[in-house]
Amino acid sequence: MDIKTLCLGLLSLNEACGYDLKKKFESLFKHFFAAGYGSIYPALADLAEAGLVDCREVPQNGRPARKVYSITESGRKHFQDALNSANPTHKLRSDFLVMMYFADQLDNDRLQLLLNSRVSAFGGVTAHIKNITDSWPSDSPAGARFVAGFGEAMAKAATQYIEENRHILKGHSQDQAKGQPRIRHTDLSQANHQPAATIEERV
Amino acid sequence: MDIKTLCLGLLSLNEACGYDLKKKFESLFKHFFAAGYGSIYPALADLAEAGLVDCREVPQNGRPARKVYSITESGRKHFQDALNSANPTHKLRSDFLVMMYFADQLDNDRLQLLLNSRVSAFGGVTAHIKNITDSWPSDSPAGARFVAGFGEAMAKAATQYIEENRHILKGHSQDQAKGQPRIRHTDLSQANHQPAATIEERV
DNA sequence: GACCAGATATATCGAAACGATAGTGTAGCT
DNA sequence: AGCTACACTATCGTTTCGATATATCTGGTC
C-alpha cells in the first residue's frame, strides 16, 4: 500500500488538507506508518489529477489558502479495491538492532546508552498512545483501538525483552584495543566456494 | 544508518561479494532490515569509490566473476565512527495495521483472512529465526543472539496480541451496503477552523 | 536423456519515498 | 520588541524499492 492509497483512506473518513493529514500521521499512525510532507503533497496532487479526490480552495486571511481535499465516489471505490486486493506488508527497519548486532564493536558506555535510550523511546511510544487514546470516546472505532493496543503491546514486549536480555551484551571496555573484531573470521572468497553452511564464518 | 554503512559493517566481519551480502540480509537481518540488489550493488560501488573497501575480482568458470569486497582500515574507522555517532532509528511500517485501522470498511471474510495470514506470517518469522539460530555454535556472538531473540519475542507478542484482541474487530457482513462509512463524519473545512480536539471527528 | 526449477552472480532503471528546508503571516507570551 | 509556536503551503536532491534482464551450473524428476 503506497502513500497515495493511505491518504485516500484517511480522506474516506474526513475531508482534509495536507497539513491535517500530516497531523493524523503523527498522532494515529505514528508508531506504524510515517509520512512527511515530501510524500503527502505529491500524493494529494496525484490523487486530484486522477480524479479520486476533489480539491477546493478555502481562502484564509494572511495564511496560504487551505486546499481541502474530499474523496470522490471513484476514489472511494478505488480505496475499497485497494483494501480488498493488496496483501499487506508489516516491516520493521531498525538501525538499533543493527547496532546491537555489532555490539562487540561498541564500547560499554555507548552500548548502555543505546539500550537506555531505546527503552526510553519505547516509553515515549506508550505515553504517546495513552495520550491520544485518552481523549477518545467510548464508541471510537474498533480498528483505531486495535492498532493503538497493538502499539502498546509491542512497546511493552520490546521493553521487557531488552531489560531481560541486555545482560548478554557486553561492549568491550573503553581502554581495550578498538577497531579489530576479536573473533575469528575466515576467507570466504575462494573461487567456486562451498555453500556458506560448511564454512567457518561469523554469523 | 544507511545501506552503505550497513554493508560496511557486514564487511567488517567478513569479506564478501554483493550476492553474499544479500544472503546475509535475508537470513540474519530478515526480520528487521531489508535490502535488495538495487540498494546493495550501488552501495558497494560507492564504498569502493570512497576507498572504504577494496574490490578484487575472482574469475569463475562460466559464471560472472565474483567481485569480492574487503574493508580497508579507513573503512573500518569510518564504520566505528558511524556506530558511535548515529542515534539509531527503529521504525515499523505496516500496511497490515493500516488495514486494521480501516477494519469497518472490510467485509468479515476478508478481515479474518488478513488476520490469519498475519498470524501465519509471524509464525514464519519464528520458524525462520529458529532455523538460522539452530546452526549456530554455542559461542556465537552475543549481538546476533540478542537480535534473533528480539525478533522471536516480537513475533510472539504480536501473535498473542492478535489472537487476544481480534474479537473486537468486526468487518461488516458481505450483504451489507458497501462503500459508505457508517460513522458520522463532520466537515473539517471551515476557514480558520478550530483545533481538532474541539471538533467531532473520526479518530 | 530431456527438461525444469533453483542456486550463483552480475547489474540497471524508473518509480517511490525520505528528509530537510524554505516561506510567510498570526497569536501569544515575556 | 523580540521570541517561539502554530498553521499552511511546497519543493528538491538523494536514497531506496522492486522488478527485471542475463547467463551458467546443479540437482532432481519423468
CATH number at residue B34: 1.10.10.10
What was the pLDDT predicted at B112?
96
For residue B60, what is its C-alpha cell? 569463475
**Dist. CA A175–CA A129, nearest whole Å:** 42
**Dist. CA A83–CA B95, nearest whole Å:** 10
Write out residues 144-163 of B within 8 Å (CB-CB) of A: 144-147, 149-150, 153-154, 156-158, 160-162
What was the pLDDT predicted at B190?
39
Residue A37 lies in a domain: yes
Range scoring the smallest mean pLDDT among A16-20, A169-173, B121-125 = A169-173
Same domain, residue pair A80 and A109: no
Same domain, residue pair A66 and A137: no
pLDDT, chain A, mean: 87
Backbone phi and psi for residue A91, each to the nearest 5 degrees, phi listed first: -120, 135
Q: How confident is the model at residue A59 (pLDDT cuts 50, 70, 90)?
A: confident
What was the pLDDT predicted at A170?
85
Contact B199/A at CB under 8 A:
no
Question: Residues A203, B78, A168, CA angle at the centre, nearest 5°?
Answer: 40
Residue B21 lies in a domain: yes
Query: What one-letter code names the amino acid at B17?
Result: C
What letter would DSSP give residue B167?
G
Contact B177/A at CB under 8 A:
no
Same domain, residue pair A19 and A63: yes
What was the pLDDT predicted at B59?
83
Report which listed range, A119-128, A168-177, A192-201, is most confident: A119-128
What was the pLDDT predicted at B198?
38
Q: How does pLDDT run across B105-162, given as a tens digit for each residue?
A: 999 999 999 999 999 999 999 999 999 999 899 899 999 999 999 999 999 999 999 9
State the total domains in chain A: 2
Answer yes or no: are the C-beta atoms of A144 and B203 closer than 8 Å: yes
Contact A116/B at CB under 8 A:
no
Instruction: For residue B172, give the 3-state DSSP assignment.
Output: strand
Residue B133 lies in a domain: yes
The DSSP-derived string for chain A is: --HHHHHHHHHTTS-B-HHHHHHHHHHTSTTT----HHHHHHHHHHHHHTTSEEEEEE--SSSPPEEEEEE-HHHHHHHHHHHHH----EEEEEHHHHHHHTGGGSBHHHHHHHHHHHHHHHHHHHHHHHHHHHTS-TT--HHHHHHHHHHHHHHHHHHHHHHHHGGG--PBPTTSPPSS-SS-------TTPPPGGGS----
Same domain, residue pair B102 and B54: no
Answer yes or no: are the C-beta atoms of B109 and A135 closer than 8 Å: no
**Distance D20 C1' – B39 CA (angstroms):** 15
What was the pLDDT predicted at B201?
67
Q: How confident is the model at residue A86 (pLDDT cuts 50, 70, 90)?
A: confident
Does residue A186 register a pLDDT over 90?
no
Backbone phi and psi for residue B92, each to the nearest 5 degrees, phi listed first: -100, 140
What was the pLDDT predicted at B85?
81
Does residue A120 register a pLDDT over 60?
yes
Same domain, residue pair A81 and A31: yes
Strands B90-94 and A90-94, by their bridges, are antiparallel
Same domain, residue pair A8 and A81: yes
Same domain, residue pair A32 and A75: yes
Q: Give which of A30, A32, A119 to mutate to test B binding, by max B Cβ within 10 Å.
A: A32
**Distance C26 C1' – A113 CA (angstroms):** 41
Answer yes or no: are the C-beta atoms of A15 and B187 closer than 8 Å: yes
How many residue contacts between A and B have a Cβ separation below 8 Å? 297
Domain boundary among B85, B114, B149: B85
What was the pLDDT predicted at B86?
74
Same domain, residue pair B46 and B108: no
Extended beta strands in B59-173, E state: 66-71, 90-94
Residue B49 lies in a domain: yes
Shortest CA to C1' contact from B63: nucleotide: D24
Same domain, residue pair B53 and B119: no
Residue A152 lies in a domain: yes
Same domain, residue pair B55 and B126: no
Residue A176 lies in a domain: no
Q: Which of the two residues, B135 and A175, has the higher pLDDT score? A: B135
Does residue A93 register a pLDDT over 90?
yes
d(CA A53, nearest CA chain B) in Å: 15
Answer yes or no: are the C-beta atoms of A43 and A3 closer than 8 Å: yes
What was the pLDDT predicted at B171?
72
Residue B201 lies in a domain: no
Q: Which domain holds residue A133?
A: 95-168
Give A-chain residues touching B170 at CB under 8 angstroms: 142
What was the pLDDT predicted at B48?
96
Q: In the predicted model, what is the mean pLDDT of residues A185-202?
A: 45
For residue A113, what is its C-alpha cell? 546508552
Strands A66-71 and A53-58, by their bridges, are antiparallel
Residue A192 lies in a domain: no
What was the pLDDT predicted at B126?
96
Sign of CA pseudo-dihedral A14, A20, A26, A27: negative
**Dist. CA A113–CA A89, nearest whole Å:** 32
**Dist. CA B68–CA B83, nearest whole Å:** 24
What was the pLDDT predicted at A65?
85
Same domain, residue pair A71 and A51: yes
Instruction: For residue B177, give the 3-state DSSP assignment.
Output: coil
Same domain, residue pair B15 and B50: yes
Residues of chain B with pLDDT under 70: 174-201
| Percentage of chain A exceeding pLDDT 70 | 85
Chain D bases closer than 7 A to any CB of the protein: 7-13, 15-21, 23-25
Q: How many CB atoms lie within 10 A of CB A171?
A: 22
What was the pLDDT predicted at A196?
39
